Amino acid sequence: MSYVRGLAVAARDAQAAIASADGATRRRLLQSMAEQLRAGQAAILAANADDLAQAAANGASKATLDRLGLDPERVQGMAEALREVAAQADPLGEVTRREVRPNGIVVERQRIPLGLVAMIYEARPNVTAEAAALCLKAGNAVLLRGGSEAARSNAAIAACLHAALRELGLPEAAVSLVADTAREHVLELLQLADLIDLAIPRGGESLIRFVAEHARVPVIKHYKGVCHLYVDRAAGIDTAIGLLIDGKASRPGVCNALETVLVHRDIAAAFLPRALAELHARGVEVRGDAVTRAFDAGALAATEDDYAAEFLDLVIAARVVDSLDEAIAHIRRHGSDHTEVIATEDPAAADAFVRAIRSSAVMVNASSRFNDGGQLGLGAEIGISTTRLHAYGPMGVESLTIERFVVRGTGQVRHPR
């Protein structure tokens, strides 16, 4: 049996023990994982220092080093995230629907684990702990394949998680690290459709495209966030300005940041001069259409590519539209099904926007930055889906379960003799 298949078989076999542990045991397991991370902090930081030195020597970018680096505060943050997941309600066994059929059989829908989840991610050691916690909370086993730059950090974190599993008498293989990060092992892992129930890639667009292109296992993915703010003719100007600045300038490098603002022609003169001044004051580069640029000599001309871009930077595209329908058509053409916002005081406009837009999150007078598992009340998130299948939007613990049918009868048959 190959290296990766051996890991997957062991993890799948271990999953039965996690699934049959009761909710209190899985809660204690996650609490113990948090304690082990605190206790292991020195070892984790030492391993991380080695990873950082190696990565720096290999010429890693500042962004990579920032994602890779841990400090006591970040390790405590990981432990705290695990405690929060531990505290959530047990998703397993929940009966979501119940119906008595005319023949007397009782049909229930009940949540069970997905089974074995494979996480494929870049050099973010915190994902190792948080993904494991979310998977275990939902009764799953997890295969963790993090970036090679974080190999030592991930091994140190996994050692803490394994200590907690041992403490609870549960099999360590329920959290299995793919320690050999050679690319051929990822390719093989993505073929194990008989063992792996779901693969979740987390990282840049190229990683996600690689996984999507090579996977025979089901994949839930999220390529990018080209998020729009539409400022309706009936928008409150202060509200619209607040949504624009929060959406673009509070953290431009994340997927729920705004990339394009669309402004109704009737409100352009009232909104744009102030909006553009606020953006410039925060160092945001504006790339606009001719109407926008008439309000702002400093704005560059927007190209078609700008309207499809995820800038991940202090840059925003702007366009003045003649109607709500034109805004919707623009979003349909250029959007990424992530997050779209309308600023309006007109309930009919808000309803029309919500009906017509089919992104994973639609916000009425609320910031795009709220499209986040924590902000939307899911607790931690294992990823975000912009694919309309299984989950759409941030994925919490519940997204790591599936509903099955349980039928209870008293001997009913379909064709009585």
Residues 53-72 that bind a copy of itself (CB under 8 A): none
Residues in the chain: 417
Q: Which stretch binds a copy of itself (CB under 8 A): 121-129, 284-292, 293-301, 392-400?
A: 392-400
What is the H or E stretch that residue 8 is in? Answer: helix 3-20
Q: How far is the CB of 37 from a copy of itself (least distance, A)?
A: 27
**Could you count the other beta carbons within 10 Å of the beta carbon of residue 182?**
12
Task: Decide: is 323 part of the binding site for a copy of itself (CB under 8 A).
Answer: no
Kindly tell me which of 294 and 312 has the beta carbon lying closer to a copy of itself.
312
Q: How far is the CB of 297 from a copy of itself (least distance, A)?
A: 26
**Site map for a copy of itself, 103-122, x if CB under 8 A?**
--x-x----xxxx-------
Q: How far is the CB of 147 from a copy of itself (least distance, A)?
A: 25
Look at residue 282 and give its three-state secondary structure: coil
Task: Decide: is 371 part of the binding site for a copy of itself (CB under 8 A).
Answer: yes
Q: How far is the CB of 11 from a copy of itself (least distance, A)?
A: 15
Task: Decide: is 375 part of the binding site for a copy of itself (CB under 8 A).
Answer: yes
350 vs 328: CA distance, rounded Å: 12
Pairing status of strand 175-177 against strand 258-264: unpaired
Look at residue 144 and give its three-state secondary structure: strand
Task: Decide: is 417 part of the binding site for a copy of itself (CB under 8 A).
Answer: yes
Residue 149 contacts residue 64 (beta carbons within 8 Å): yes
Kindly tell me which of 19 and 294 has the beta carbon lying closer to a copy of itself.
19
Angle at 402 between CA 116 and CA 159, to 5 degrees: 30
186 vs 199: CA distance, rounded Å: 11
Kindly tell me which of 125 and 373 has the beta carbon lying closer to a copy of itself.
373
Q: How far is the CB of 368 from a copy of itself (least distance, A)?
A: 9
* Residue spans of beta strands (DSSP E) within 101-213: 106-113, 116-121, 141-145, 175-177, 198-202
41 vs 156: CA distance, rounded Å: 9
374 vs 380: CA distance, rounded Å: 6
**Could you count the other beta carbons within 10 Å of the beta carbon of residue 48?**
23
Q: Which stretch binds a copy of itself (CB under 8 A): 172-180, 244-252, 263-271, 284-292?
A: 244-252
Cβ neighbors of 13 (< 8 A, separation 6 or more) are 171, 173
In the block, residue with structure tokens 């030592």: 152
Q: Which stretch binds a copy of itself (CB under 8 A): 38-46, 261-269, 312-320, 387-395?
A: 387-395
Near a copy of itself in 217-236, by CB under 8 A: 218, 236
Q: How far is the CB of 319 from a copy of itself (least distance, A)?
A: 21
Q: How far is the CB of 367 from a copy of itself (least distance, A)?
A: 4
**Site map for a copy of itself, 18-47, x if CB under 8 A?**
-xx---------------------------
Q: Which of 317, 340, 312 is nearest to 251 (CA)?
A: 312
Among residues 293, 393, 395, 396, the one that binds a copy of itself under rule CB under 8 A: 393
Among residues 354, 380, 382, 395, the one that binds a copy of itself under rule CB under 8 A: 354
- Chain-centroid distance of CA 134 in Å reads 12
Q: Which stretch binds a copy of itself (CB under 8 A): 76-84, 154-162, 299-307, 354-362?
A: 354-362
Q: How far is the CB of 48 from a copy of itself (least distance, A)?
A: 29
Dmax over CA atoms of the chain, in Å, equals 85
Kindly tell me which of 314 and 356 has the beta carbon lying closer to a copy of itself.
356
Near a copy of itself in 181-220, by CB under 8 A: 193, 197-198, 212-213, 216, 218
Residue 90 contacts residue 28 (beta carbons within 8 Å): no
Near a copy of itself in 149-178, by CB under 8 A: none
Q: Which stretch binds a copy of itself (CB under 8 A): 38-46, 182-190, 295-303, 408-416?
A: 408-416
Cβ neighbors of 239 (< 8 A, separation 6 or more) are 343, 365
Task: Decide: is 367 part of the binding site for a copy of itself (CB under 8 A).
Answer: yes
Task: Decide: is 314 part of the binding site for a copy of itself (CB under 8 A).
Answer: no
Among residues 24, 57, 297, 413, the one that binds a copy of itself under rule CB under 8 A: 413
Residue 262 contacts residue 327 (beta carbons within 8 Å): yes
Pairing status of strand 285-288 against strand 300-301: parallel
Kindly tell me which of 62 and 415 has the beta carbon lying closer to a copy of itself.
415
